[in-house]
């Protein structure tokens, strides 16, 4: 009778629908009160009490995994990114880690396109002006006048590229992994160096994984290479951006704007200067918002858990 620690915040509200499935396989759930994620100290309280876990962006550090071993056998991540799980420690301790690749490609790519349209057509700013009683015709432009730089041309980066090209945008791409030449040829993306992309893009979309090569990729040196009219869009992971240096660049006018769905610390502190910036669009880590996509991920996460625990469906 395996016990599973359930901490995935997108899944917890719907547990009644899945209870019969857990009952079928004799799984007992431990369901803590979760706001955004479980930190290391939160997880350590449950060490040794569970055989498997369904998690969101919980901090499964080496310390946590060692404390949970040898009982812990499987972690099933709700979603795609597993940067909050120490994969090396998990492998060493024989803890299987499952995830759902390509889970939210469509809603995240749509979000990137939405941010670009908002900035070029100035919709949110005209709406705010109208509601202040101002009849102000703010100049806009079209996406076809703009170049997009895609950092990380994986599933989401490819989807962003296709959408941008359909609007007539020039698209530059960069990745530490070689991108499929068929996609490059068919899409018309121009693969280039990071430096060239930064200095020639009007929009810069971060679509890479969080790893040692991408941590604080956007910082003083890279911001200095951007055009004054550049807008940074981050729907990937907060720590890819060195937030204080981005804030300084936005405040000084070094770059024109930013659209941020993710942050170094979540929830974003109420006293963050980002909260009061007129040239920034903010969202609460919600670019994956799509009930249809969530449903697919719910079931994929359960299947990954069963597989990790060695339970046959």
Catalytic center residues: 237, 266, 285
- What phi and psi values does residue 171 have, to the nearest 5 degrees? -125, 125
75, β-bridge pairs: 53, 97
Q: How many Cβ atoms from other residues are within 10 Å of residue 158's Cβ?
A: 22
| Dihedral sign from CA coordinates of 230, 234, 236, 239 | positive
Using DSSP bridges, classify how beta strands 203-206 and 280-282 pair: parallel, antiparallel or unpaired. unpaired
Dihedral in degrees, nearest 10, Cα atoms 11, 17, 20, 21: -50
Question: Strand (E) positions, the chain?
Answer: 3-6, 28-30, 52-55, 74-77, 96-98, 147-151, 170-174, 190-191, 203-206, 231-234, 257-260, 280-282
CA distance 90 to 61: 9
Rounded to 5 degrees, what are φ and ψ at 20? Answer: -65, -35
């Amino acid at each position: 009778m395996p016990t599973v620690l359930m901490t995935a915040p997108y899944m917890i509200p719907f547990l009644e629908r899945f209870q019969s499935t857990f009952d079928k396989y004799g799984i007992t759930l431990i369901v803590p009160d979760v706001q955004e994620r479980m930190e290391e100290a939160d997880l350590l309280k449950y060490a040794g009490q569970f055989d498997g876990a369904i998690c969101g962006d919980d901090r499964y550090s080496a310390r946590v995994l060692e404390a949970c071993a040898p009982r812990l056998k499987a972690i099933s991540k709700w979603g795609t990114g597993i940067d909050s799980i120490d994969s090396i420690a998990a492998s060493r301790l024989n803890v299987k880690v499952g995830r759902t690749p390509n889970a939210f490609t469509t809603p995240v790519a749509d979000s990137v396109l939405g941010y670009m349209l908002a900035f070029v057509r100035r919709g949110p700013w005209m709406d705010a002006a109208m509601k202040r009683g101002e009849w102000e015709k703010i100049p806009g432009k079209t996406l076809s006048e703009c170049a997009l730089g895609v950092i990380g041309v994986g599933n989401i980066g490819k989807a962003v590229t296709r959408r941008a090209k359909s609007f007539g945008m020039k698209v530059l791409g960069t990745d530490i992994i070689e991108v499929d030449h068929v996609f490059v040829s068919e899409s018309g993306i121009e693969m280039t160096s990071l430096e060239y992309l930064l200095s020639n893009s009007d929009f810069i979309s971060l679509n890479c994984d969080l790893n040692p090569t991408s941590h604080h990729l956007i910082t003083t040196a890279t911001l200095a290479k951007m055009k004054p009219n550049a807008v940074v869009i981050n729907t990937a992971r907060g720590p890819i951006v060195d937030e204080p240096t981005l804030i300084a660049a936005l405040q000084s006018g070094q770059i024109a704007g930013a659209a941020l769905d993710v942050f170094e610390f979540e929830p974003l502190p109420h006293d963050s200067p980002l909260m009061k910036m007129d040239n920034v669009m903010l969202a609460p880590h919600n670019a994956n918002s799509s009930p249809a996509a969530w449903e697919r991920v719910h079931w994929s996460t359960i299947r990954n858990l069963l597989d990790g625990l060695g339970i046959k469906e």
